[in-house]
Structure 1
């Protein structure tokens, strides 16, 4: 069918653009209903990786993905990861990772795309306006769990492969698709290490298809913050105590914990731990200029979040503190009483949870020592007889790429070709461990080229992807593969 488009365009007086571009885009437009139907079918599979009762559906989702790749003509290996200890004495089979390949021409560059098929939990009673596992089209948006994160983005890529194969793949394509991303990608780092001299040996570029734009304007992500996640445990009595019998007579663990948590960050968001800012990569004038041209609306962010006043007043300041400066957030307290109603308990043990999003050139091991030393000193000053322990349970490193690498230049050209505007070069405030892992283990150039919108709510209620992003994103991935051949 695509060849017919090419012939018709060649004979058309209106033909101005390169025939491959026009024919390719027309093919995608003409098949968009098929693409939406396939997304509907995939959303209906409840591939929630956090729910052991849905593990069969997750396994089914990986098989469905494999079958479609085979239908497209790809070669597929299903890499087994073994078992997951879900709870003491209970194990579940981990879903296999899809390792797929289209083309093996040594004269062409090879690009490997990463994505995932598992989703976050979703229930209608949580506040969804639609059934979360039934794709619903409304006001130009496609609602459903996984539409943006990450089934919709992976499908856009696969549809791009399908369409461009009609005229010949300009590059070799590899796919690395997992099913446990939403719960920590168990076993993935080891698999990357195992496959670095086989599956990844001829890969030139790695693209992550699991990211949103900053605004309605397309964005290319070149950096992300890391994450040091801490637990502070404070232990007092041997058991929980009644406040009527013991209130005013004991050193309470909860009071000690709240005291320590209050010493971590001030009201303006400044981290109070000594030395924490010493290793932050200095801000230069070239980087400053990048922030000025970014499309970002504070009023829209306020309307979307319901936050009336942010810590910073300008677009540039807010984005810098969201992306390229460290932040500390307190997440919760485990222990004591947190249910509805009243209960006059003095908890014997409590655990505070907080994280520091660190940036280049901060080192997680250095951050761990800074935090531990600071909290131990402050607890000593309090002179409480309770026991305090600090533990860093996550130490994911930040990631920052060179925006002038070939695949970034190709992506910029592809954005210009599809949307007729220049891409925003953006960073992520969150953490993307797989990007840093790919970079360190494989020594490859890594780029995040997602097609999600800024208000897609990927982990929340009413997740969606706009129909525009879904279809035009398909064109973006196809164009990127074509543009990559010129570098």
Structure 2
């Protein structure tokens, strides 16, 4: 029996223990957006630090070198876990694994069928906030490393960067990494490969490896018509209502087919080559199944799977996320908001730049406001931006991941790009000088960020095997 076969056997035999570890992790409500409950973030960091120390890692809980302010108040940032094998072997390759241990907010009243912080197994699925995003994948890495230690030695030196603010924009992590790079911190030295497991398959049957991510730029439209909320019976028709202005402004951002109406927004988008167009033809993507899972009546490019995939991977999109200041509860409240704030974002792609995109959008908003002719006070801003990422799927790092998927699933993985963003990916690549392999283990229907988030038991177990096979493949790469 080969070492890898023994590793796989160990992972299978310890499935229940690994599920228990995930249950313990999910039970910690490490919601980074809940700034008044940072104690949970600290507890979660200690949980994962303890897990790594039990595997022989030396760990450090390092605070980001910035102050984090929320509504004018300085709020403590969760520490970043830096972990490395206590006795690194200089003859082995070194793999840097990034993950995050914070989660999105969740309440049973949001529409969950189970308690979100109580991992529940049903029909081969593990339901709980963080099960797939990203506590499950992080623990799968530790499960793979544990298995190697039980049957032999880990084929690579492993290092971890685990943060607690990814779901809130990775506040402080970029500054920490750049500070470490500037100081030539030994933790970032000698890294051969980088990997992130914080994305998903295209469907739920065939494994995937992602080689690209879209960026994300956020925008705010703030309109104020009064210094307080008003009664519509007393003040209706007296003022130019902020909400009416805002709804009109938001309606001018896209057309019914989802095309962005900002002039020149497509100018820097990389042209679709014949070679790239051909790669979309062999990808497994079941439009009716995916649409049914989402409960959507129709996709924009319903009859063209290739164009549908291009739409979520290689073209920009604009999405409106919400309105602050509006009455959103059930029932009626005859209020005129004194101030209304609209929130939207644009997902960017190669070769768009944040600076160019921000300028074009803000110029367009100012032109729209002049056209509207309202006397109200308006402010347009872009408070945050993260860049896109694109890698060579034929690099040694990616080829190792592809062979690992083939070994575990006995089928070549689909090569895909992700429509979402992991802003720290590009920073990791720049700080280490290496490409970053995006190695997902979860399915498209896992419901990350949504109610009833889950990871399939099979994906959790097989994912650890893929990670083990990937580390073995990396060790076999010749200089």
Same fold (TM over 0.5): yes
**1:472 match:** 462
Maintained 8 Å contact 1:118/1:180:
yes
Q: Indicate how the Cα distance of structure 1 residues 84 and 132 shifts in structure 2: closer, same or farther if over 3 A, else same.
A: farther
- Out of 410, 428, 435, the residue aligned to residue 418 of structure 2 is 428
- Out of 192, 195, 198, the residue aligned to residue 207 of structure 1 is 195
**1:150 match:** 134
Maintained 8 Å contact 2:117/2:129:
yes
- How does 1:189-204 map onto structure 2 within 5 Å? 189-196=174-181, 197-198=184-185, 199-204=187-192
**Residue 280 in structure 1 maps to residue 269 in structure 2:** yes
- Out of 336, 342, 345, the residue aligned to residue 346 of structure 1 is 336
- Out of 380, 383, 389, the residue aligned to residue 390 of structure 1 is 380
**2:92 match:** 108
Residues 273-311 of structure 1: CA distance to partner in whole angstroms, max 9, x if unpaired? 110001001111221122111111111112211101111
Residues 169-206 of structure 1: CA distance to partner in whole angstroms, max 9, x if unpaired? 22211111112222222211111112222211111211
- How does 1:125-140 map onto structure 2 within 5 Å? 125-140=109-124
**Residue 67 in structure 1 maps to residue 50 in structure 2:** yes
Determine the C-alpha separation between the residues in 1 that align with 2:425 and 2:68.
26
Compare 362-371 and 438-447 and name the one that shifted more: 438-447
Determine the C-alpha separation between the residues in 2 that align with 1:248 and 1:326.
39
**1:295 match:** 284
SS in 2 for 1:441: helix
Compare 476-485 and 59-68 and name the one that shifted more: 59-68
Maintained 8 Å contact 1:110/1:202:
yes
Residues 58-115 of structure 1: CA distance to partner in whole angstroms, max 9, x if unpaired? 2122112111211111122221237865645754433221111125233322110011
**Residue 28 in structure 1 maps to residue 11 in structure 2:** yes
Q: TM-score, normalised by structure 2?
A: 0.93
Determine the C-alpha separation between the residues in 1 that align with 2:290 and 2:277.
21
Ranges in structure 2 where 5+ consecutive residues have no aligned partner: none
- Out of 250, 254, 260, the residue aligned to residue 265 of structure 1 is 254
- How does 1:355-366 map onto structure 2 within 5 Å? 355-366=345-356
**Residue 57 in structure 1 maps to residue 57 in structure 2:** no
Aligned length: 470
Determine the C-alpha separation between the residues in 2 that align with 1:66 and 1:131.
26
Determine the C-alpha separation between the residues in 1 that align with 2:431 and 2:126.
37
Q: TM-score, normalised by structure 1?
A: 0.91
Q: Indicate how the Cα distance of structure 1 residues 342 and 424 shifts in structure 2: closer, same or farther if over 3 A, else same.
A: same
Deviation of residue 141 (structure 1)?
1.1
Residues 348-394 of structure 1: CA distance to partner in whole angstroms, max 9, x if unpaired? 33222111111111111111111122222222223332232210112
SS in 2 for 1:330: strand
Q: Indicate how the Cα distance of structure 1 residues 34 and 239 shifts in structure 2: closer, same or farther if over 3 A, else same.
A: closer
- Out of 432, 447, 450, the residue aligned to residue 442 of structure 1 is 432
SS in 2 for 1:292: coil
**Residue 484 in structure 1 maps to residue 468 in structure 2:** no
Determine the C-alpha separation between the residues in 2 that align with 1:329 and 1:241.
29
Ranges in structure 1 where 5+ consecutive residues have no aligned partner: 1-8, 10-18
SS in 1 for 2:219: strand
Deviation of residue 256 (structure 1)?
2.2
Q: Indicate how the Cα distance of structure 1 residues 289 and 70 shifts in structure 2: closer, same or farther if over 3 A, else same.
A: same
Determine the C-alpha separation between the residues in 1 that align with 2:109 and 2:331.
22
Provide the alpha-carbon RMSD of the alignment.
2.0
**1:368 match:** 358
Q: Indicate how the Cα distance of structure 1 residues 252 and 96 shifts in structure 2: closer, same or farther if over 3 A, else same.
A: closer
